[in-house]
Structure 1
């Protein structure tokens, strides 16, 4: 064994467990543990019936100890030997305020320092107790483990922080690019509007010049006609004073001149309709279609018996022959059917090809709608739709009946539903114009509604 280790063990053997210093006047109690006489006297001070051992807690009924000359001699020898450095700072102990003794022990459960007499109080009697040195060693080791975890966590946090800083730069670059993209798009829109503005003004100017030129020609023709009329009038006035023979001789010739002279037709001019037509990339409708268009299908179980539906559930047409289908209160009593999707929230868009059908109706309705009427009503609660009822007549159905006339006859209809906002919009997909918009606070689920009319041309839902 190394000399320094042996010397250290010898010094610890000659150390009092109470004051943690070399024995001064050592004594031995009944259980065999050794203490300084003064330390043991102070520890047993004020005790009368039970005298516990400061180390093993064994209680004795009498205060008894005996001097130990061997330990005394050994301690004197160790005191003369050189002290071995323990590689740690010199401990400074605190004094217990209650018992006026050095706090050399540590209560593990209460996590507090205490003196040897505190160990036998009711508060700490059943608690695990350790000497300060062992407790400090144990908790230093625990602290080292915690420090290692904290160091690892700090390293991970540093890596995450570096990554977040990198992401911050990436995010700034991304938003910077978005800003440039928006600025570029607006510049393109400005350029387009400027070019469109100049083109429309130029077109209007050309039309104005053509109109003025045509009007000037008409004014010239009308002036010539007026001159001819004035010449004939003067001739007639001169002939009025002629003799009867001369008057009658020239009458037939002048009469034919008057018959041949016809007034020019009235000049009329109709200006063209001018308006701004944005390209598809600047249209809000295209953004709606791209983001909210859904794959709509027809609902077989709500279709009128004379409606024939394709296998992909996207095309329906009316036939005179009545099909054999199960009787259901959910089927319509007129040539109509519902979509297969119910809406109680969100936004959605679907497109229907109506072609040149003479009669059709598109919209939405509440689920109880089919069984309430024998024919499609024009004014009804829980029903919002538009439709065609004649060659050039279009009408809204639902809360009120309103007739309207599209600028361009639609062959494809776009339907956009914003449930939360309470808006139902119909678009003419031929010229991308808004046909009609309903505003209503929806409180229950709604279904897409389709009415085909009785003509044989099909009604088709266009795929996204």
Structure 2
């Protein structure tokens, strides 16, 4: 065993460090290292002034070689001695630079390329950090080891994402089924008007389900492909990790590039559309009214009854303890009412008032000349009084107040009232926003400015002017 080792060392010393073959015409340079005459000549071919040793990088001052006849004889003797080379050594002998036909013994840290001695001194790698293959392989073996666990985590994460996206197929079916039931319930309420629209909406919903499922499947395919590529690269890293230095470094640049540029496809998310249904004229007309004519109403404290409490944003009013307020000709004294801060004499305006849980209330519009020093009593309010509105005067009685008191019977108890003033047409209409039903419309010639009117009654629940949102459209 000891003899075999000595014999291997002898053969190693008889080899040229550049071509890794037996020395031919061996020469010794200034630093003492030995090379084939042809190999060192090729390495120093285009160099001037300084001639670095390919092995120790010592800069020789001159291009001078000394023939080493003794080493030449020892090389010839070594050739005669049999040596059983290991499989690994035989494989390493195959790694030759295709351009210069020299052994790949160096590695460029900047370009991540394996180099031969001549490549090492080329212009392409000037000022780059160059390491021997053994040192570079040790460094990158440790670095690649650090990539394995994060890569496994990425594989696990993408597999979890795939599992989650797969469950979305069932989720979309459940949501579509739930939405289908909601649609069915809505259409049953107005079945006489929406039979054709019902069928159309269901077809749209089915098409949307197919479209979402198709896109979800495409997303799953992309994620699966990405997972496959991650697994493939992980196997490649693991296989590279156990190989020889040169084999390890041969395609390491490609591995790093793929690792750094690999991006996971975005996960597909879906949201079912909000369908717009073709409702009866009074319903679809209300949507256009709300969208086009809604105005921002605030309350006028100078008109408020002394027992009314107005919020800081002037959007809410409720009956409470008496406040000391200065006398004003526009103030209500007997009726717990308040007006909006802006009157309207032309155009079209829409606003909403929340009346939820109140036992008494009146909302509408009135003239500036409306009498302020007497209570509003049913069967005494006439058109000359200048008030048009609807109200709730008991637990079961809803009325319209104009030239006469008219009982109205909403199918759904209103919690929010929509008021639409159309001065051009001489109409003021009131809507129950809970089922979007028209409660009542007054027809008259509005030649004066009309003011939003709010009467709270004597219960402590507030009347609130509501902000109109997209969902109200």
TM-score bracket, normalised by the shorter chain, equals 0.3 to 0.5
TM-score by length of 2: 0.47
Instruction: Kindly name which structure, 1 or 2, has the bigger radius of gyration based on alpha carbons.
Output: 1
The structure with higher relative contact order (CA 8 Å, sep 6+) is 2
TM-score by length of 1: 0.47
